[in-house]
Structure 1
Amino acid sequence: MKGNGKVLIRYGTAITATAYTVGGFGCIVSWTSPALEHFKNNSTDFRMTTDEISWIAPLLPIGFIIGYLIIPMIINRFDRKWILVFLALPQIASYILIVLAKDIISIYVARILGGIGYGSGSSALVVFLSEIATQETRGIFLSFHKMFFSLGIFFIMFLSTYLPYYYLNFTIIATMSFFALAFIFMPGSNYFREENEREEEMNMMLKLSEKGKISNLKNDISKETSGIKNDTIEKVSFNFKIKESSFWKLVTVRANQRALIIVILSASQDVLSGHTIVRYFSHQIFTYNESFLTPAKSSLFLASIKITSAFICTQVIERVDRKVILFNTLFLGSLGMGIIGLFFFLECFKVDVSYFLWMPIFGICLYEFMLTMGIGNFVNIYLGELFPHNLRGLAITICKVTSEILSFFSILMYQIMIGLVNTCVIFWIFAATNIILGLIILKITPETKGKSEEEIQILLNAK
């Protein structure tokens, strides 16, 4: 019973923290659509021009990037729990400022403030979840990140269908405040981390005792795990302070180099396989000639697909090897993109597509289902698994900023290419990019399911 109680505490802490941090992240991203419609209808107490309204959406990613850059400066100085609690203040304050806004500047400030809060919070959450989880639940907890992000998007889409703009904002404030206040009473990451370290030591001793080589293997493991540090000390400790920094350790230690390459390639695959385009241009993709789904229904349907996929992933992530999941979702996701491309190819050559109207919807749902279960989810899993706990904050920042930059250029190139080539070419490029990057990641990434931090570092350090 006592063991079950501890498990429930871990799950309760993970769910509560993820609900308001990443669920809120999904809310603030999805909030843009109903809010812009409200502003364009001149339904506010103050007037806004079209140019002023056009700045509301792009200010959020600017806030995200600032938030990502803040995390490395604070993540190793305070308990992760209290960082998440503190970051709830700008998150909730951004919505309060929107409700009280009397001019466009207040909306701008709210968007940047919310971006900072959620950018920092979502990054800190990856570190927090990786520390409170056991080896058996680490993948599940890190999968909550994607699931609650999708729930946040669906939450706003659903509420905006039935609630007026101001009631929508009040509902968000009340919901996020409830989870943030509940999280204050949950244990911190230090409590769970100390318990995990004791369990890992006991498991390691048990494994070693079964082989009858406790003393020798303890020394071997000590050499392997400290070898990473010793290599760094021998190679870079020339009395230069920069060579003792987290960044230097991240780019000079073999295990960290490999981990960084893996997460950057994972983030690149997530963006360049078409995910960003589907997120921002799903209405255009769904509203092709004779489409039988309205943009609103298509968005809700797609959000439901993502939630279902993310939930299934939490059920299988610790039962099936990571690389098996990645391999299968890789090819099925590319198949989805290929099907979309095939439809637009047929349409381009004036083929009667009346019997194939299902293809874009099926293709995009297949792609999103597989991406959510696969690389879209594994970016956060690998960020939480592949790095030593003191380097995760910096690694997350590099990965997230890289993702934002690639997203910007992806959107820019899509809008340029859509006028130069047929739509089918673009989606086939997405499918090919997904396969190429996915195969590279599968080649260089070790299997991490059920492995301790020390075991993962040894695997990454292996030639």
Structure 2
Amino acid sequence: MKFFEGGKYSYIAVAAADLLSFIVGTASAWSSPVIPKLQTLSDNPLGRQISQDEASWIGSLLSMGGIVSPLIWAYLVQKVGRKISGIVVVIPFLVAYLTSAFAETIELYYFGRVLMGIGIGGMFCVLPIYVVEVAEDVNRGLLAASTGCFLVAGMLFSYSIGPFVSIMAFNLILTGVVLVYIPAFWFFSPETPYYLVRENQDQKALKSLRYLRRRPLADLEAELTQIKKYLASMTEGTFLGIFQTKASIKAFIYSVALTTFQQFSGINVIFSYMQNIFDLTGSDIAPEICSIIVASVQLVSSFMSPLLSDKAGRRTLLLVSITGATICEVVLGVYFYLQDNDDDVSGIGWLPVVSLVVFMMFYNFGMGSLPWAIMPEILPSNVISKASLIVTCIYWFVGWILTQYFAELMEAVGGAGSFWLFSGFCVLFDLFVFFFIFETKGKSLQEIQQILSR
């Protein structure tokens, strides 16, 4: 079975672009090793322990930045292009990590977290569009899903380094990662042919295709003609344009549902508070080691989605992924229920680690990356920047609510109630995919729009 179909240089271009996703992964997991340090006096640059409320703000302000940033990035990605946007989007990370490296007040950590959120929101606006527009029909699913692999690798990087070095060293190391990305993306990732055609730069679009495909000129000209025909069928969209056709309305609703259900699985809460969650379970394994174990398994399992999304199909992977994740959260809820009722759980101290390990396996099998891979496939090109802006704002608003008030949720309904609530949303997620999402593998962007128009 041949997994890697299509021109090899499209893989190189996307791999360089995916370093942005790696950076986002480091920011997503940043609070997990940092918050425990700030809650003790050892290796704490503040000179005092932070309160639970301050810890909640550090965890949740990432999402706050993600709420407002799409307003910036959706404009830039259309006005200056995907490539320049891909460079500008890392500036917030650079400033955030340098600020956090030398911060001595809680307000500077807040500032850094908002900047990280602005950068993360930018990645979700810029990277999915870039990947879809440089990929081919035969490898679009694989390349789109590869973003999730790099994101998980970035998280593992933070979990593996953050607990064992000072906060200053940790942030300076992450600054170095950002500085590696900038030249890699600039030299190996061309502007997308779709954007260049839209800007009436056909010769540059042909040059981009030549780099990405390395095929005979006749084949490249045929693909260029197909791109022009597709874009010509799309009138320039507005926010109201999202709701002017049946296809765009359905694509928008599906995109909101897929990404919002992903948040309600509780995933960003787990990312932000993984060490704290393991502290609550009372597991015999050190919390920082638990985090590394979970992220390592998560990284290995994340490679299954790119390899299978163009073979088994997006819809099938999503259904399997969500079902498995649901079961794991139910089991984790049972553990917390026994613990909260003072039952002896010493004999099953391994259960929380195993539950989260298997949860992450199923999560990365499909539901981690595929909602964001499907979104740019189904949204019409003329409204994709506007629609993805709204989708991303909603996604991060939900994420902010969940991370900001997770401590209160745990206090109100306990660990059992919290994870059973998340599993209930996963059941609804499964039902939505089963009844509404159709298979997009192997279909051109034009064919997908025709299906949505029915």
TM-score per shorter chain, which class? 0.7 to 0.9
Instruction: Tell me the distance in 2 between the aligned counterparts of 1:306 and 1:388.
Output: 32
State the Cα distance separating 1:78 from its structure 2 match. Answer: 1.8
Alpha-carbon shift at residue 324 of structure 1 (Å)? 1.3
More deviation, 90-99/377-386: 90-99
Q: In structure 2, what is the equivalent of residue 8 of structure 1? A: 8
**Separation of aligned partners in 2, 1:182 and 1:165:** 27
2:378 matches 1:376:
no
Pick the aligned partner of 1:291 from 244, 266, 283.
283
* Gap change, CA 1:183 and 1:461, over 3 Å in 2: same
Structure-2 change in CA distance of 1:428 and 1:246 (3 Å) = same
Counterpart in 2 of 1:314?
A: 306
> Residues 404 and 45 (structure 1 numbering): CA distance in 2 closer, same or farther, change over 3 Å?
closer
Map 1:244-259 onto structure 2 (within 5 A): 245-259=237-251
Greater shift, 444-453 or 416-425, is seen at 416-425
- Aligned CA distance change for structure 1 residues 263 and 342 (closer, same or farther; 3 Å): same
Larger displacement relative to structure 2 (97-106 or 380-389) = 97-106
Paired with 1:125 and 1:337, the residues of 2 have a C-alpha distance of 30
Deviations 1:157-214 (A, max 9, x none): 21224433333223222222122112211242334775499869959999xxxxxxxx
Shift of 1:129: 0.8
Aligned equivalent of 1:273: 265
The 3 A distance-change label for structure 1 pair 169 and 435 is same
* TM-score between the two structures when normalised by the length of structure 1: 0.81
Note the 1:203-214 alignment, pairs <5 A.
none
Does structure 1 retain, via aligned residues, the 8 Å contact 2:62–2:114? yes
Specify whether residues 353 and 161 from structure 1 end up closer, same or farther in structure 2 by C-alpha distance, changes over 3 A only.
Answer: closer
**Aligned counterpart, 2:21:** 22
State the 1:338 CA deviation: 2.0
Deviation at 1:350, TM superposition (A): 5.8
Question: What does residue 459 of structure 1 align with?
Answer: 451
The SS at the match of 2:303 is: helix
Query: TM-score under structure 2 normalisation?
Result: 0.82
Name 1:133's counterpart in structure 2: 135
Asked if 1:32 is matched to 2:31, the reply is yes
Distance 1:411 1:50, change over 3 A: closer
Gaps of 5+ in 2: 196-204
Describe how 1:21-420 pairs up with structure 2 within 5 A.
21-39=20-38, 41=41, 50=50, 54=55, 56-99=58-101, 101=103, 106-191=108-193, 194=205, 195=209, 226=233, 245-287=237-279, 291-347=283-339, 352-411=344-403, 414-420=406-412
C-alpha contact (below 8 Å) 1:340/1:424 kept by paired residues: yes
Q: Per the alignment, do residues 359 and 104 of structure 1 end up closer, same or farther by CA in structure 2, a change over 3 Å counting?
A: closer
Secondary structure in structure 2 of the residue aligned to 1:389: coil
Counterpart of 1:26, as a letter, is: G
Closer/same/farther in 2, CA of residues 270 and 199 from structure 1, 3 Å limit: farther
Alpha-carbon separation, structure 1, partners of 2:190 and 2:224: 25
Give the counterpart letter for 2:153 in structure 1.
L
Q: CA deviation at 1:66?
A: 2.4
Contact 1:65–1:119 under 8 Å retained in 2:
yes
Cα offset for 1:354? 4.5
Q: Give the Cα separation in 2 of the matches to 1:366 and 1:46.
A: 37
Q: Bigger radius of gyration, 1 or 2?
A: 1
Q: CA deviation at 1:308?
A: 1.3
Query: Which region of structure 1 is more displaced relative to structure 2, 34-43 or 265-274?
Result: 34-43
| Greater mean deviation of Cα atoms: 266-275 or 299-308 | 266-275
- Separation in structure 1 between the aligned mates of residue 444 and residue 124 of structure 2, nearest angstrom: 23
What's the CA shift for 1:246? 2.0
CA pair 115-272 structure 1, distance change in 2 beyond 3 A: closer
Distance 2:442 2:219 in 1: 13
Once the two structures are superposed, what CA deviation does each residue of 1:351-397 show, in whole Å capped at 9, x if it has no partner? 55454433333222222211222222112111221112332222222
Cα distance in structure 2, aligned partners of 1:100 and 1:278: 27
Residue by residue over 1:220-263, the C-alpha shift from the partner in whole angstroms, topping out at 9 and shown as x without a partner, is xx99x95x86xxxxxxxxxxxxxx75211112211111111111
1:366 is paired with a residue whose SS is: helix
Taking the aligned partners of 2:60 and 2:416, their CA distance within structure 1 comes to 28
Alignment partner of 1:76: what SS? helix
Cα pair 2:17 2:127 within 8 Å, conserved: yes
CA distance in 1, matches of 2:316, 2:59: 38
Whether the aligned pair in 2 keeps the contact of 1:80 and 1:188 (CA below 8 Å) is no
Q: 1:104 to 1:328 in 2, by over 3 A?
A: closer
Fraction of identical pairs, as percent: 21
1:134 CA displacement: 0.8
Match of 2:422?
Answer: 430
Tell me, yes or no, if the aligned pair for 1:200 and 1:452 is still in contact at 8 Å: no
Unaligned runs of 5+ in 1: 207-221, 230-243
Q: Deviation digits for residues 66-95 of structure 1, max 9, x if unmatched?
A: 222212222211220111112233322332
Report the CA distance shift for 1:113/1:352 in structure 2 as closer, same or farther (over 3 A): closer
Equivalent residue number for residue 198 of structure 2: none
C-alpha distance in 2 between matches for 1:187 and 1:96: 26
Structure 1 residues 105 and 14: alpha-carbon distance in aligned structure 2, compared to 1, 3 A threshold: same
Distance 1:147 1:123 in 2: 18
Give SS of 1:374's match: helix
